[in-house]
Amino acid sequence: MTLFESFILSIFDVLGFIIISLGLIREENQYKLFKKSLIYVFLYSLIISVIEIIIPIEYIPIFVLIMIYIVIYLTYRKGLVFTFKIWFLSTILILTMQYISLIILNIIIGNIEYEFFYGLISQIIFIFIVIFTFYKIKIHVLLTYINQQKKIAIILLANIFMILIIILMYWRLDIDNLLNNFLDLSILSLSIIFIYFIVIKNGIRNEYEARELEMYKRNLPIIDNLISEVRRKQHEFDNYIQAINSIIYSNSNNNEVVESLKQYTSEIENINDLGNLIKLKDKILAGFLFSKQKESEKNNIQFNILIENPMIYTKLKSYELIQVLGNLIDNAFETEVEDNVVVVKFLRKYGNDIIEVSNKHPKVEKEKIEKFFEKEFSTKKKKGRGYGLYNVKKRLNKYNIRILVENEYRNEYTSNFIKFRIMF
């Protein structure tokens, strides 16, 4: 191949790596990172196209992988170990996709030859697979799994990595023989890789199920307490009804009747709040909110739960929804304001299920609100803060769920509130 042809094909390679690495990391500023990487894409392609002419062919795969590692490091600048994880996973995914693109090309055209035309068609197919994977497949769970140091996943991924590297070396050293036996090698290697990925997928699913089970075990006693509390309040409710009837029939002073009824109806409203919690479709969520209600009572925080829409549908798993709401409610509880008021509201508006968490707070400037979800940013004085909202945003971005923040003045409290609105 000519220098120009090699340069063009190399652009596809490194672009694929950048897109897949962005899919693994799922950073909020992905577009900015992608633009930043374009200069490295150009330089990499130029260097590789020159190197392929200068050094022996058997050393090119090693040099390519080293160069890719450097490009990933320069793009994200997040440490050598983190870069290695991204490079390792990206290499597995990219080589698998390139292999699949060659199989598709072989099926469409037939006999493949080591020429620029075939390489270009294969790379076009490859980049479509990369884009589809970025938008439709949750590949970031692989990075999460590696970060959790799951030994089985790491061993299986290492095996896949070695298989793909061997195929890559074979491709470079004996291209003609590889193409002659392409179908047999494809069936064998992809079958092994497919089985490995199925095992990893099942492992990830089992991990999620284990988390769900742990969350149910942790929250079931709280739900039992909630049900017991509702039953107790129901008994009290019956007594209140009898008391109201006796007030009406035994007292001729209208003013006294009105005052007594106000007192009793206030108590009944509190009972009704617990009844609303029971109406929530997600009983684990109901139990969690009940525990937060008890926590607010201990800390003398007015905590109101308004449920206009008990049927909230979300892509978040139960434990993820509780983690998100837990962070937002804890953040609201810890606000350093006098007579704090926290409101959680479930509603449906504009065709979206919505959860709002708001709390009494002085008005916050727009520039400061934009920094709320940045890592280590906090409005509180204590050290070691600034991860709660960052984790919330990261979790919601995983499912492309929007969260909006705004100031809202509420006349009933004659105070400003800061409101977080999650739209599913």
Assess whether pLDDT exceeds 90 at residue 407: yes
Q: Which residues contact 385 (CB under 8 A, 6 or more apart)?
A: 376, 378
52-92 per-position pLDDT tens digit: 788 777 677 778 888 988 998 998 888 888 888 888 888 88
Assess whether pLDDT exceeds 90 at residue 316: no
Partners of 356 in the β-ladder: 345, 421
Give, as one character, the DSSP assignment of residue 142.
H
The pTM for the full model equals 0.54
The residue that leads in pLDDT, 378 or 299, is 299
Q: Which residues contact 419 (CB under 8 A, 6 or more apart)?
A: 356, 357, 358, 405, 406, 407, 408
Q: How many whole angstroms from its chain centre is CA 346? A: 21
Contact criterion met (CB below 8 Å) for 334 and 389: no
Partners of 25 in the β-ladder: none
Share of the chain above pLDDT 70, in %: 64
Assess whether pLDDT exceeds 90 at residue 185: no
Q: Which residues contact 168 (CB under 8 A, 6 or more apart)?
A: 61, 95
Contact criterion met (CB below 8 Å) for 374 and 6: no
The residue that leads in pLDDT, 206 or 289, is 289
Q: Produce one character per residue of 54-76: b if its CB has 16 or more CB atoms within 10 Å, e if not.
A: eeeeeebbeebeebbbbbbbebb
Rg for the chain, CA atoms, rounded: 30
357-388 per-position pLDDT tens digit: 999 999 988 888 888 888 766 666 555 455 67
- Nearest of 99, 101, 74 to residue 86 by alpha carbon: 74
Burial (CB count <10 Å: 0-12, 13-18, 19+), residue 348: middle
- Cα–Cα separations (whole angstroms), residue 313 to 252, 279, 280: 51, 14, 11
Q: Tell me how far apart the alpha carbons of residues 180 and 320 are, in angstroms, rounded to a whole number.
A: 50
Amino acid at 207: E
Give, as one character, the DSSP assignment of residue 400.
T
pLDDT reported for residue 99? 79
Q: Produce one character per residue of 242-269: b if its CB has 16 or more CB atoms within 10 Å, e if not.
A: eebeebeeeeeeeeeeeebeeeeeeeee
Pair type for strands 302-307 and 341-349: parallel
**Which range, 152-156, 193-197, 199-203, 353-357, has the best average confidence (pLDDT)?**
353-357
Assess whether pLDDT exceeds 90 at residue 350: no
What are the tokens at 354?
Answer: 């919505």
Give, as one character, the DSSP assignment of residue 338.
T
Q: Which residues contact 236 (CB under 8 A, 6 or more apart)?
A: 267, 271
280: left (phi over 0), alpha (psi -120 to 50) or beta: beta
386-395 per-position pLDDT tens digit: 567 888 888 8
pLDDT reported for residue 368? 86
The residue that leads in pLDDT, 235 or 49, is 49
| DSSP secondary structure string for all residues of 275-339 | HHHHH-S-HHHHHHHHHHHHHHHHTT-EEEEEES-S----SS-HHHHHHHHHHHHHHHHT---TT
